[in-house]
Structure 1
Amino acid sequence: MSSSLGVAVIGAGMAGKAHAAAYRAATTLYRPVLPEIRLVSIADAYEPLARETAARYGFSRFDTDWRAVAADPEIDIVSVVVANSLHREIVEGLLAAGKHVLCEKPLSDSLEDARAMATAAGAAAERGLIARVGFSYLRAPGIEFIRTLIDDGRLGELLHFSGRYWTDYGCRPDAPISWRYQGPAGSGALGDVGSHLSYLAEYLCGPVAEVSGGRFHTSITERPKPLGQVVGHTRGNVSEERAPVTNDDYATFNASFARCVGTLQVSRVAAGHPNDLTLEVFGSRGAARWSQTNPGQVQVMLHDEQGDVAGYRTVALGPAHPHYVGGWAMDAPGVGIGQNDLFVHQARAFIEEVAGIPTAESLPRCRSFADGVHNIEFLAAVAESAALGGATVPVTAQEH
């Protein structure tokens, strides 16, 4: 094991800050077996943001060009958290420079780029480098508990799945145009939050076989150009000039999985729902549901309950549930967990793999770039279904 590992984050926006905070906290979780983690650089093309974020999270410096990170021999681990269309160039450059890379999802906004990135990751693996994609919700104890209920048979045979991810960051027509609103079909709400919902559906229901009923809708077709820098979902001052929105505000589709069928729906214009990810699975012996609104609990219904009290019961997550013991400073039931915590667990898992800690002694590994490509293949099938008026489209993964 290395005596220390240098870390950098490329992208200082909303998710970039989550990665920066996660690396800072990762050594405080579970057993203290990690090498020293050196917080080296925050890189962002917008200098004021890079400077502020580096100071805020205790990184030694800031950079305004990702190439400075690639060229620094003191940096071993890099998170890439920028616009999806920029992922390929940066990731390939970092791997060529000998860095271990954790790329934010989705892997890219095109299948061609994602497959090229997976090829680069495969070549880099031969040189001992690790490239992973961040599927952060797989770290949620509630989702893992539902998977346990499925695997141990307590829910019986799965009958169907319902999932939605509603957000409202785009519900105001005066929200300025940014990269999030410009891209190919399927790179809007589907690519942003649907990329989460789709991998979670597969995690619970098994591999997807086909999709149907794909439908996209762009509710706000143009947005004002900003007068300054757009960071995350901030609004700020805008000009009179407007630009077209080229991707989806809303998407819905049906899917057939190995274990059941399901319906999935995503939106970025659902007013009053800032971050509403809700999953529900129905089986022959009961049902279970989880929501990001109350992530520290799972609701479970089992048919073996007495008839006069049958229905959902609320289960507070605690040490009896997956990923919980040692995962927080206070790992007692009812303390509460949130989405930021999932990034910390993700960073911890990635560092453990880079540090060479055996799989049996680590958190579950982060997903591979091949998994990231499959995620985009899934979403591409939805886009094809929508383009064909809702037709059934098989999801066939290419060999990686």
Structure 2
Amino acid sequence: MTSSIGVAVIGAGMAGKAHAAAFRAASTVYSPVLPEIRLVAIGDVYAPLGQEAAKRFGFERHESDWKAIAAADDIDVVSVVVANSLHREIVEGLLAAGKHVLCEKPLSDTIEDARAMADAAREAEARGTVARIGFSYLRAPGIAFMRQLIDDGRIGDVFHFSAHYWTDYGCRPDVPISWRYQGPAGSGALGDVGSHLSYIAEHLCGGVQEVSGGRFHTSITERPKPIGQVVGHSRGNVSTEMSPVTNDDYATFNAKFERCVGSIEVSRVAAGHPNSLSIEVFGSKGAARWSQTNPSQVEVMLHDELGDLAGYRTVPLGPAHPHYAGGWAMDAPGVGIGQNDLFVHQARAFLEEVAGLPEAESLPRCKSFDDGVHNMEFLAAVAESAAQGGATVQVPANAAGTTNTVGTNTQEVAR
């Protein structure tokens, strides 16, 4: 095992800050088996933002050019958290320089670029370099517990899956135009938050086989150009000049999975829902549901309950559930789990793999770039269905072959 790991994050926006904070905290969860983690650099072309993030999260310096990070001898691991269209150039450059890369989802803005990135990742892996995509919600104890209920047969044969991810960051017409609102069909709400629901659905329901009923809608067709820098979902000052919105504010579709059928709905214009992700699975023996609004609990309904007590029961998550015991300073039931915590566990899993810890003694590994390509192929099939008026479209099988094999790894409980 190496004596230390130097870390950099490229992108100092909202998600970039989440990665930076996660690397800072990664050594504080579970047992202290990682080598020293050195917080080296934050990369961002907008120097004031990058400098502020570096200072805030304890990184040694700021770099305005990602190539400086690629060339730096004191950096081993890099998170790439910038606009999707920039991923390929940066990731391929980092891998060529021998850096281990954790890339935000979706892998890119086009399938062609994503496949090229996956090719580069396989070549890098042959040289001992790790390239992974996060899929942060797979770290949620509530989702992992739902998977456990399915695998254990406690809710029986799975009948169907229902999920929505409603957000409101784009619900106001004065939100300025940015890369999030410009791209091909399917790169809007579907690519942003639907990319989460698609991998969650496969994690619970098995590999997707086909989609149908695809429908996109753009509610706000033009947005004002910003005055100054747009960071994350901020509004800021805008001009009177308008630019067209070219992708989807809303998307919905149906899908057939290995285990069941399901429906998914996503929005970035759902006023009053800043971050409402909700999933529900129905089976022959009962059902289970989980929501990001109350992420520290899972609601479970089983048919074997007494008739006058039948209905959903609330189960507070705690050490008896996956990814929980030893994972926080206070790992007692009811303490609470937030979305920021998922990034910490994601960073921890990535660093464990880079450090060479045995997989059986580690958190479940982050997903491969091939999984990232499959995620984009899933979404592309939805876009094709929408373009064909809701037609049924087949989805290619996951080349990585790992979609439905990430279990709940109890090794972490013993650490």
**Does TM, scored on the shorter chain, surpass 0.5?**
yes
- Counterpart in 2 of 1:95? 95
Aligned-pair CA distance for 1:398: 7.2
| Other structure's SS at 1:380 match | helix
2:250: which partner in 1? 250
CA distance in 2, matches of 1:398, 1:260: 17
- 2:341 counterpart of 1:341: yes
Listed one character per residue, the Cα deviations across residues 106-165 of structure 1 (whole Å, up to 9, x for unaligned) are 001110000000000000011000000010000000000000000000000000000100
Name the SS for the 2:69 alignment partner: helix
When the two structures are superposed, what TM-score results if normalisation uses the length of structure 2?
A: 0.96
- Contact 1:181–1:247 (Cα < 8 Å) also in 2: yes
Aligned length: 400
- Give 2:320's aligned amino acid: A
CA contact (8 A) 1:29 1:327 kept: yes
Equivalent residue number for residue 28 of structure 1:
28
The letter of the residue matching 1:41 is A
Residue in 1 that maps onto 2:83: 83
2:161/2:279 contact within 8 Å kept: yes
1:132 is aligned to 132
How big is the shift at 1:396?
1.2
SS in 1 for 2:224: strand
Classify 1:27/1:398 alpha carbon distance in 2 versus 1 (closer, same or farther; 3 Å): closer
How many Å apart are 1:399 and its aligned residue? Answer: 4.8
Q: What's the offset of the Cα at 1:73?
A: 1.1
**What is the CA–CA distance in structure 1 between the aligned matches of 2:256 and 2:65, rounded to whole Å?**
43
Distance in 2 of aligned mates of 1:304 and 1:22: 41
What is the alpha-carbon distance in structure 2 between the residues aligned to residue 314 and residue 258 of structure 1?
Answer: 28
Unaligned runs of 5+ in 1: none
CA distances 1:31-55 after superposition (whole Å, capped 9, x unpaired): 1000000000000010000000000
Aligned to 2:204: 204
Check the 8 A contact 1:171/1:271 in 2, yes or no. yes
Cα distance per residue 1:260-284 (max 9 Å; x no partner) = 0000000000000000000000000
Q: Distance in 2 between matches of 1:119 and 1:345?
A: 27
Unaligned runs of 5+ in 2: 401-415
Aligned residue identity for 1:107: L
Alpha-carbon separation, structure 2, partners of 1:338 and 1:227? 33
Aligned amino acid, residue 225 of structure 1: K
> Is the partner of 2:352 in helix, strand or coil?
helix
TM-score (norm 1): 0.99
Query: What do the CA deviations read for 1:308-351 (whole angstroms, capped 9, x no partner)?
Result: 11000000000110010011110001111100000000000000
Aligned equivalent of 1:12:
12
Note the 1:1-400 alignment, pairs <5 A. Answer: 1-397=1-397, 399=399
- Quote the Cα distance in structure 2 between the aligned partners of 1:151 and 1:361: 21
Say whether the 8 Å CA contact 1:96–1:124 is kept in structure 2. yes
- Does the aligned pair in 2 maintain the 1:143–1:290 contact within 8 Å? yes
Deviates more, 1:390-399 or 1:82-91: 390-399
Quick one: distance in 2 between partners of 1:137 and 1:327? 16
Letter in structure 2 aligned against 1:370: D
Identity %: 80
Alignment-mate amino acid for residue 347 of structure 2: A
**In the alignment, is the contact (CA less than 8 A) between 1:3 and 1:35 conserved in 2?**
yes
Rounded to whole Å, the distance in 1 between the matches of 2:257 and 2:397 is 14
Check whether the contact 2:209–2:397 (CA below 8 A) recurs between aligned residues. Answer: no
Is residue 377–residue 397 contact of structure 1 (8 Å, CA) maintained in 2? no
Task: Work out whether residues 184 and 247 of structure 1, in 8 Å CA contact, stay in contact via their aligned partners in 2.
Answer: yes
In 1, Cα distance between the equivalents of 2:37 and 2:78?
12
For 1:266-311, what per-residue CA distance to the aligned partner results, in whole angstroms no more than 9, with x for missing partners? Answer: 0000000000000000000000000000000000000000001100
The CA distance in 1 between the partners of 2:84 and 2:336, in whole Å, is 31
1:397 is displaced (CA, Å) by 3.7
Does the aligned pair in 1 maintain the 2:87–2:108 contact within 8 Å?
yes
CA–CA distance in structure 2, aligned partners of residues 205 and 356 of structure 1 = 31
CA distance in 2, matches of 1:202, 1:30: 27
